[in-house]
């Protein structure tokens, strides 16, 4: 215990006396100085060579990322599905999408869809560069006569209810 206290005692004595550590050492008896100045060897610590390197584990997951666009540019709000894995996501404002997949996943077939365009299937490789899926074929959305009539009746009912509320 004494062997560890002497260096701190020098510092404390120097601070309280307003002197430096060397002057504080000069004020201590010679026997205590010898005990305090004995250099201690640190306990043997294992070196880097002694510790085996950890095995590098393969990554547990990989990212499949891409962008959906048309001839006019990025397409926000498009739906991208991975049918085999039963996953889907919606593109952000820049048309970007990403999936986190198991590392063992190989090439995946993605289906990109957006209202007014034909669905596009694309083979995408996880972990590769950003994939670009282009929706190029516009599709007319046609309603059957029954759907048109149903929509018309719904609108007509809404307008009639609105008119009746105004009369009351």
Give the pLDDT score at 91. Answer: 93
Q: Percentage of the chain surpassing pLDDT 90?
A: 22
Mean pLDDT by 10 residues, the chain (168 residues): 53 53 51 49 56 61 91 91 91 92 87 90 85 84 77 82 80
What are the pLDDT digits (tens) for 34-64? Answer: 444 555 555 555 555 555 656 555 568 888 8
pTM: 0.51
Residue 163's pLDDT is 80
3 state DSSP class of 63: strand
Q: What's the CA gap between 106 and 90, in Å, rounded?
A: 22
| Burial status of residue 102 (CB atoms within 10 A of its CB: 0-12, 13-18, 19 or more) | exposed
What pLDDT is stored for residue 31 in this prediction?
46
| Average of per-residue pLDDT values in the chain | 75
Dihedral pair phi/psi, residue 166, rounded to 5°: -70, -30
Instruction: Kindly write down the DSSP assignment for every residue of 100-129, as one continuous string.
Output: EEETT---EEEEEEETTEEEEEEEE-TTSS
List domains and CATH numbers for the chain.
2-37 (no CATH), 61-134 (2.60.40.1120)
Task: Give the tokens for residue 24.
Answer: 């504080």
């Amino acid at each position: 215990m004494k062997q560890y206290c002497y260096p701190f005692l020098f510092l404390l004595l120097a601070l309280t006396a307003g002197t430096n550590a060397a002057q504080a050492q000069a004020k201590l008896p010679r026997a205590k100085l010898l005990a305090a100045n004995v250099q201690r060897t640190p306990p043997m610590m294992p070196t880097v060579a002694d510790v085996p390197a950890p095995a590098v584990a393969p990554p547990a997951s990989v990212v499949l990322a891409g962008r959906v666009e048309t001839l006019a540019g990025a397409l926000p709000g498009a739906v991208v599905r991975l049918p085999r894995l039963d996953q889907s996501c919606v593109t952000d404002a820049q048309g970007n999408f990403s999936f986190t997949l198991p590392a063992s996943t190989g090439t995946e077939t993605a289906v990109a869809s957006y209202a007014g365009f034909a669905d596009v299937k694309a083979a995408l490789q996880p972990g590769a560069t950003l994939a670009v899926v282009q929706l190029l074929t516009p599709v007319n959305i046609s309603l059957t006569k029954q759907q048109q009539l149903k929509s018309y009746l719904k609108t007509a009912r809404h307008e009639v209810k609105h008119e009746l509320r105004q009369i009351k």
